[in-house]
Amino acid sequence: MTSIVLSQSQRKEPLIETRLKVVTWNIWWRYGQWQERQPLIIDTLKRLDPDIVCLQEVWQDEEGAQADILADALGFSAAYFDSGPRSGVGFGNAILSRWPIEETATTQYTPAPSDKAGSPDGGRGALFAKIAGPRGVIPVFSTHLSWKLAESGYRQTQVRELCSFIKQHTIEDYPPIVGGDFNAESNSAEIRMMTGEDIPAADGLSFHDCWRFAAPGALGITWDNCNPVVANTLEPDRRIDYVLVGEPFSGGKGHVCSVELIGNEAQDGLYPSDHFGVAAELRY
C-alpha cells in the first residue's frame, strides 16, 4: 500500500473527478422511541443516497435484523457484527453497500469497565467489509469505542487494536475508510493517534479526518444538546463521530471533497437518533 503527496508540483496525473459518498451514524439501538425512529432513519438515508453506510448500535433479534431492514429499503447489501447483546437483543456494527460485499472480518476490543461481558453495556468492536466497487475494491471499517468520558485510556487501547485490525485488511486499490462513533473529541489522544498527530496507533498508518479537511471552520457537533435526549444526559456538546480515510492514493483516490452532518433535523420533535451522523464525499 503506497500513499502519495498530492502537491501540485509532484502530481503527475490528473485528479479523479468521480465521487464516493460515505456515511457513518450511530442509530441508538432500541433506546427511546425506536419503532418511531426507524422510518426517520430510512428517510434520511434515502434522501442522502449514499454509496456506503457505516452504522453503530444496530439491533438484531430472532424476528429481524435492523441492518437487513435498512439495506432492503435502500436496495443495498449488508454485513453485521454483534459485539455484545443487550437483554438478549443483538447490539453491534453494520456496513451497508450499494455494491457487493466480497469479504468480511470482525474484531472484539479489550473492554472498558462499562463494557464488561454481562454488563448492561456489553462489548465493543469493529467490522471490516471488502466492497467490490465499480472502479476498484474499497476497504471499509465500522467501529464503536467505549462511551464514558473518563475512559480515554481504554479507548486508546481500542484504537491500537483497531489499527492493527486495519493493517491486516488493507488493499492496493484504495485507502482504508473508517466510519465510527469514537466517543472522543478531535483533540483527544484517541483521535490524534488516528491522524498521526500523536504517537501512531500502528506504524505507517494515519488518517485524514474528513471534517477537518472539508469543513475546518465548522464545529461539526454530532452529540448536540439541541436534541432533548442528549440534553437529558447533562453532557457537553461534542464532535465524536468520524469518517476517516487513509492518505490519498494515485489520482487522489480517497481525497476528501465535502462533508456534512446528517440526521440533525427533528420531525414533530423526534430526532432519528441521539447522535447526528456524518456524510463525506471522497474521490473514487
CA 2/CA 191 separation, integer angstroms: 22
Give percent of the chain above pLDDT 70.
94
Lookup: cell for 80: 453485521
Say if residues 32 and 1 touch (Cβ distance below 8 Å).
Answer: no
225-234: long-range pairs with CB below 8 Å, 24+? 227/266, 227/271, 227/274, 227/276, 228/269, 229/32, 229/271, 229/274, 230/274
Over the stretch 197-232, which tens digit does the pLDDT of each residue have? 999 899 999 999 999 999 999 999 999 999 999 999
pLDDT of 30 higher than 70: yes
- 164-174 burial, b at 16+ Cβ within 10 Å, e below that, comes to ebbeebeeebb
Cell digits of residue 16: 479523479
Cβ atoms of 255 and 177 within 8 Å: the answer is no
Beta bridge partners of 130: 103, 139
Q: For residue 37, how far is the Cα from the chain centroid?
A: 20
Q: What is the pTM of this model?
A: 0.94
Residue 140 grid cell: 471499509
How is residue 192 annotated by DSSP?
H
Q: Give the pLDDT score at 66.
A: 98
Whether residue 8 is predicted with pLDDT greater than 90 in this model: the reply is no
